[in-house]
Amino acid sequence: MTKYTPECPYCGKPLARPEPTRTEFVEIISGKCDCGAVYVCDPTGHNVGEAYSDAMALAAGEWNIGDMDAESYDLKEMDYDLRSHSRVYAKGLNVQSGKLIFIRMAGKGEKESEVGGAESDAGLPDDPAVAGMKLKDQVRYFLETKRPEAIGKLAVKDKNVIKWLISFSYDKEDVMTWRAIEAMGYVAKELGAARQDILRDTVRKLLWSMGDESGGIGWSAPEILGEIVRSVSDAFSDIVPILWTNREEASFRPGVVWAMIRISQVRPDLLSITGDELLELANDPNPAVRGYTAVLTEAILLDGNSEILLKLSGDLDTLLYYEGGDLNSVTVAELAGKTKK
């Protein structure tokens, strides 16, 4: 189980500890963020329904919430430990925690920081081929022509590049997905120097998308986070153990192992992976997990690595593997025989 500083899911600012608050009918444990969001704590996690009702009443300013339009507010929740004032991350573990229930009414909140404003064509990389193109089409063009460095520079001018890269990253059988994931590393490198606040907000949203409380699934979030850590490792080394925990979720497992590969190529010291964990992954039913594990095993020096690689060297199941801008079908055995990068 991992604990870290709780941040507002809407604006990313650190949260003040919720405090006992007397309402018209009951006492609740609540707080308010500068962005307009309110939050209510259920310390045990057993009374979430009541906490939702309390949060809605607190946000609306009245207890008659039956007529509230669903489009007039947004709800989120977070696993939370009141005693330590920490967000709890325990995916795949049998851990009971408290909850923070957040609500923000429509129209409230600070305006997002911008780079270059709305989707404009000003200050874009010099290339006659993209003249007059909308931002989405420019991103697609640079992906198709294998120019991730141009996408990185484009993001400094317009942060909406991040949105479009994520939108291109949902189909793992499409090479454009993998080029978009890789391009996020170039975006991270550029924004890490120019606008780390935007990058930090992106990391927060990606982590949130991987949590049960998000209401959605960040299909390529692990891979994208791996590229960000790889490119700006000093600023985001703290998310590596959180990312590694997500291997417990089968849908994220291939992406998490891929992220560890990418991080290990530049900062192997950030990884704390045991031989037993690698062996477990080497027995995973998903050939992508086994293939990626072969590459990861070669990248980190542990006792027992040779036995794991020997086991995988006879695995003839196939998977798609991205390298050098292209996506190819390979066997697990072929990856087990690759030399250390």
283-320 confidence digits (pLDDT tens): 999 999 999 999 999 888 776 788 999 999 999 999 99
The reported pLDDT for the residue numbered 69 is 54
So what's the pLDDT on residue 62?
A: 56
Q: What is the pLDDT of residue 71?
A: 59
- What pLDDT was estimated at residue 339? 43
pLDDT of residue 229: 97
Which pLDDT value is given to residue 218?
A: 67
Q: Could you state, in chain order, the average pLDDT of each consecutive group of 10 residues for the chain (341 residues)?
A: 78 91 81 92 89 84 54 81 86 71 72 42 61 92 96 93 93 96 97 86 87 62 97 93 94 96 95 94 98 94 83 96 96 82 39
pLDDT of amino acid 334: 96
Res 64: pLDDT: 52
Three-state SS string over the chain comes to CEEECCECCCCCCECCCCEEEECCCCEEEEEECCCCCEEEEECCCCCHHHHHHHHHHHHHCCCCCCCCCHHHEEEEEEEEECCCCEEEECCCCCCCCEEEEEEEECCCCCCCCCCCCCCCCCCCCCCHHHCCCCHHHHHHHHHHCCCHHHHHHHHHHCCHHHHHHHHCCCCCCCHHHHHHHHHHHHHHHHHHHHCHHHHHHHHHHHHHHCCHHHCCCCCCHHHHHHHHHHHCHHHHHHHHHHHHHHHHCCCCHHHHHHHHHHHHCCCHHHCCCCHHHHHHHHCCCCHHHHHHHHHHHHHCCCCCHHHHHHHHCCCCCEEEEEECCEEEEEEHHHHHCCCCC
